[in-house]
Structure 1
Amino acid sequence: MLTRVSESRIITISNSLPATMTKRRAKLITSDEAVQAKCQHKTACSDCPWKRDSLRGWLGGATPQQWVATAHSDAVVDCHTLKGAQCAGIAIYRRNVAKLAPPPNIQLEADRENVFGMPTQFVEYHDIFKK
């Protein structure tokens, strides 16, 4: 069972999810479950928070605003599912918003269909505790 606490609210995700949630449950991959990458991937992982169909609010301990700030910085961001690889989702998002992050950051092609294309989209989608 997973419990997330934020702004005095508790959300619990049980292991006994309905059958309709099976696909979403497969998206709950943590960095502890990361496997060694054979090479740098070029598409966002199945549960990458930058994907438009990601699980809402599944951002670890950071807020949506913190994630966006990181994306708009020059920080190298590691993939949370593949050790030794950078996050392809954030690289695609950066291209979508015309943010050029210098090497050693990877540069990937834009994909506004599958990956968020604006910071407001990402924040609105993942801010599950809106007031």
Structure 2
Amino acid sequence: MKAMLLIPLWLLITGLFEDRWQPRNGQARVIIYRQREFGSTHYDITINDRKQGALPTNRYIQVDISPGRIKIESKKDYFSDNQTLWLNAQAGHTYYVKAVEEVDFLSRTLLIAPISEEQAQRELQKIKPIAGSSSATTN
């Protein structure tokens, strides 16, 4: 029983637990997520004009990027409004962006906004990554 309690402590001390929210050396990390929404659709997410994937509800995209000014966009189709968010990314920092779909009479929009780390950590506990998003890198 004591051994079962000491194994996680030993793994933590030896560094074998990876902190999944920390960027690689010299990079910044952006995590864009959506919570569960009723009847919503996928939106394409681009960072610095490079497509990162389609973001459905209850999923997140995680991208390591070069530090500097970055442009994040959500796009869908002709009947939806594109949204743009600019961030000044610093090496070693993680930035959280929450996306929420707004439905109007004739259009849909995926609103994107920066969010605090504390709120994002709480909300990300129930959200799954998009396959392959943690290994994506953008320059």
Do the two structures share a fold, i.e. TM-score over 0.5?
no
Q: Which has the higher strand share?
A: 2
TM-score by length of 1: 0.26
TM-score by length of 2: 0.25
Q: Which has the larger radius of gyration?
A: 2
